[in-house]
Structure 1
Amino acid sequence: MSSAEHIAEDRAPNGVRPPSRLRQLAAASIGNAVEWYDWYAYSFLAVYFAGQVFPEGAGNSLVPLLSTFAVFAVGFFMRPVGGLLLGAIADRRGRRSALTLTILLMGGGSLLVALTPTYEATGLLAPLVLVAARLVQGLSVGGEFAASTTFLVESAGPGRRGLFSSFQYVSTTLGQLLASGTAALLAALLTEQQMGQWGWRVAFLVGALLSLLGLWIRRGAQETLSPDRHSSGDTPNPAPQAADRPGLFEALRRHPRQSLLICGITAGGTLAYYTWTTYLPVYAQVNAGFDKADSLTVGTLSLVFFALLQPLGGLLSDRIGRKPLLLGFSLGFAVLAVPLLHLVTEAFVSLLLVQCAGMVLLTGYTAVAAAVNAEVFPARVRAAGIGFPYSLTVALFGGTAPYVGTWFKQAGHPDLFPWYVSALCLVSFLVYLTLPETSRQKLER
């Protein structure tokens, strides 16, 4: 049996034939792409529906957009709850159960966004519905990273954890790319007035339908939770015995150092990631007068480039280790974030070059983040151990990136935002210096 095709026989409970590694990879990646399409459609279309849901402040056209990004940040603050609760489900009931639940929640949230009424028609009900939808999606995304990260890394063969981990961001980027491409296509086919009135709703309805596809694909995945953590029943994917199930806060209680380490690993990476992949087109619009439709096109092109880089970064980390890539990423952004963001002008090529340059550096973090996180915790609490500190850090620094950037602009200090990115990446650089190299260590099953 080829090690590139099947999970080791000793991983298969009760003589069940182990699944193909490629099938496991596809199940995780396709479902994850659908999940992140639903999440990212919000940020790409915010400039179109902001005025529909939020009233404009007196004499300030940035108020609806600022309010919309505030809701974007609120969704992120449900992510730690999702990381803890759904991560615990992944550790107690299995990774597949958690992945099935996350995509159901995300699809429901996307449908609710699509059906959000306008402020003109319903008043305060409109922003309340939008907030509720983002809270549901935030819960889903918090659990998604924990469960899918664990599932991917546990499905990998010897010496391939970096490669498999890179598909966390390959699939995330494909979902983001699909969201960006859908938004760009709608913007090209419809007038700006049509986009603001109803065009943006189409993208969220598509997301709800795609979630059903992702659900069907994930139901065919095989559980990766180790056989000795399952009951002795005859079913292929039995649940762990109740006595063996970890407590909700066991990872935090027994592994506080590892939890803090996840926060330090994630802080600079998540801010740089959301700045370059989500907020940069809007940053170019509000700071350099960049055209809305052109910014979506640039975002789409740069995301294609970014997705292609991820497996290369994962393979490189399997050869030379995780730490060199993390150090290169963090030091690169600490030094270059300010000059790169100051190079953004209204010219098409300037934004494209800046976004692609940042994504080369960013790959040093994104290609290995899933592997590094999974290698920090033991299998018993791996999903919940990753989910809560990771999601909390993303909420504090990644989810607030668009809001903080727009707030700096409104306050008259747009030049401070690049320095904010640089400083936090420097903090993560110091954390990476203390990390042990884990790429050659055996992963506990």
Structure 2
Amino acid sequence: MSNAEYLAKDRAPGGARSPSRLRQLAAASIGNAVEWYDWYAYSFLAVYFAEQVFPKGTGNSLVPLLSTFAVFAVGFFMRPIGGLLMGAIADRRGRRTALTLTILLMGGGSLLVALTPTYGATGVLAPLVLVIARLVQGLSVGGEFAASTTFLVESAGPGRRGLFSSFQYVSTTAGQLLASGTAALLAAMLTEQQMGQWGWRVAFFIGALLSLLGLWIRRGAQETLPQALDAVRAGETPHDRQTAERPGLFEALRRHPRQSLRICGITVGGTIAYYTWTTYLPTYAQVNAGFDKGDSLTVGTLSLVFFALLQPLGGMLSDRIGRKPLLLGFSLGFAVLAVPLLHLVTDDFVSLLLVQCAGMVLLTGYTAIAAAVNVELFPARVRAAGIGFPYSLTVALFGGTAPYVGTWFKQAGRADLFPWYVAALCLVSFLVYLTLPETSRQKLEK
């Protein structure tokens, strides 16, 4: 069934019937969770498959791990391209079409990671296959944020954009949680040798299967792009819509340069804090404090549960008091506390759990409302591409490189500099947030 046919069937004559917001929320969130499970399984299992795919450097056991995190960063550099291309598809063909494409790409990339050969068996082919898989996944996840954020916020009712926005990271965290929990379960059930040899592959096979589930769920999503809805109401054919004027690939950057720069400033502090606290912190504890691998995954899993529960609370709070107070609290809090918090990381289980949860309380001031803040800056015509490219570029430069930079500082003997790096980027965002208009009460531009 085509997008237009689906919409026409779902609506009463004259378009009087509104789509179920709960149904929209579920379609976006469940698919998004599956998408991010595939993406994050890589980071949680990197310590197990690094030596399978990359050769050791002479006398340096960190070389395989550094190489694995370098590939993690390379995947991030496909995100701006994904954000631009999939964002353009979402603005031209509709959000639903883009969401379908992103989850297909992610599932294919996950399957390719699962089938990656070892370096001992195939030599340089092993890292090459891994790089290709991450490039495909990077393209997917860059487009996912562009399409799903616009879809979620456009589906929200009056005074609920912050709440709906929070489910972007509820579902993202659910995917992380599933990936972390799967990794922790495998680590508990298998020996260290089994995990290194084949156990890590199981998680990626699961991810490929879950992507098919996400694809099936997203078939029930309903379009939110105003142009697409208007076309259905007017009885236009697909050919009519294809020949109608559509936004150019770089139209958002050309016509809205200030908003594009603001997306970068909004994102830089949030992405470094997010990837440090939700993805890299378990590895940081292992490398810098000698924390047990299995225990660090357990801490990560528990803290992610706590983080997911906080998101709707942050979203609802922003609908009441505005976006800026939460953004300012997040950025100033990390600028001041990132260094002492990371210096408190030891090999003690409770200590690491408290540090991770404390950071996630602050982080909620950004994650719960990032989607709403970004969406509220652009008109619908160029919204997905306008968000996707600058957001994904900033995440690639500062979020995707966080594990590599942190591990590199350790290798260089200056692990103490990484917390200052996090604090400095959060301070940059704090200055940007001071200049933002309050958009929580404004009508979403069509």
Shorter-chain TM-score bucket reads over 0.9
Matched residue type, 1:220: G
Q: CA deviation at 1:243?
A: 2.7
**Counterpart for residue 38 of structure 1:** 38
Q: Which runs of 5+ in 1 are unaligned?
A: 1-6
Q: Deviations over 1:106-155 (max 9, x none)?
A: 00000000000000000000000000000000000000000000000000
**Counterpart for residue 376 of structure 2:** 375
Matched residue type, 2:200: W
Counterpart contact for 2:93–2:228, Cα < 8 Å: no
**Counterpart for residue 156 of structure 1:** 156
Q: Deviations over 1:234-290 (max 9, x none)?
A: 489998453331000000010111000000000000000000000000000000000
- The count of corresponding residues between Structure 1 and Structure 2 is 436
Cα distance between partner residues in 1 of 2:399 and 2:241: 34
Counterpart contact for 2:94–2:228, Cα < 8 Å: no
> Partner of 2:376: helix, strand, or coil?
helix
Q: Does 1:348 align with 2:324?
A: no
> Partner of 1:59: helix, strand, or coil?
coil
Cα distance between partner residues in 2 of 1:14 and 1:200: 53
**Counterpart for residue 4 of structure 1:** none
**Counterpart for residue 175 of structure 1:** 175
Cα distance between partner residues in 1 of 2:263 and 2:307: 23
CA 1:252–1:289 in 2, change beyond 3 Å: closer, same or farther? same
Q: Deviations over 1:385-413 (max 9, x none)?
A: 00000000000000000000000000000
**Counterpart for residue 3 of structure 2:** none
Matched residue type, 2:366: Y
Q: Which runs of 5+ in 2 are unaligned?
A: 1-6
**Counterpart for residue 51 of structure 1:** 51
Q: CA deviation at 1:342?
A: 0.2
Matched residue type, 1:29: S
1:43-442 to structure 2, matched below 5 A, reads 43-227=43-227, 230-231=230-231, 234=235, 240-442=241-443
Cα distance between partner residues in 1 of 2:105 and 2:240: 22
Q: CA deviation at 1:444?
A: 1.4
Cα distance between partner residues in 2 of 1:102 and 1:435: 31
| Percent of aligned pairs with the same amino acid | 89
Counterpart contact for 1:229–1:244, Cα < 8 Å: no
Matched residue type, 1:15: G
Q: Deviations over 1:60-91 (max 9, x none)?
A: 00000000000000000000000000000000
> Partner of 2:244: helix, strand, or coil?
helix
Counterpart contact for 1:230–1:238, Cα < 8 Å: no
CA 1:268–1:408 in 2, change beyond 3 Å: closer, same or farther? same
Matched residue type, 1:82: G
Q: 127-136 vs 231-240, which deviates more? A: 231-240
Query: What CA RMSD, in Å, does the superposition of the two structures yield over aligned residues?
Result: 1.7
> Partner of 2:300: helix, strand, or coil?
helix
Cα distance between partner residues in 2 of 1:225 and 1:59: 56
Q: CA deviation at 1:230?
A: 4.5
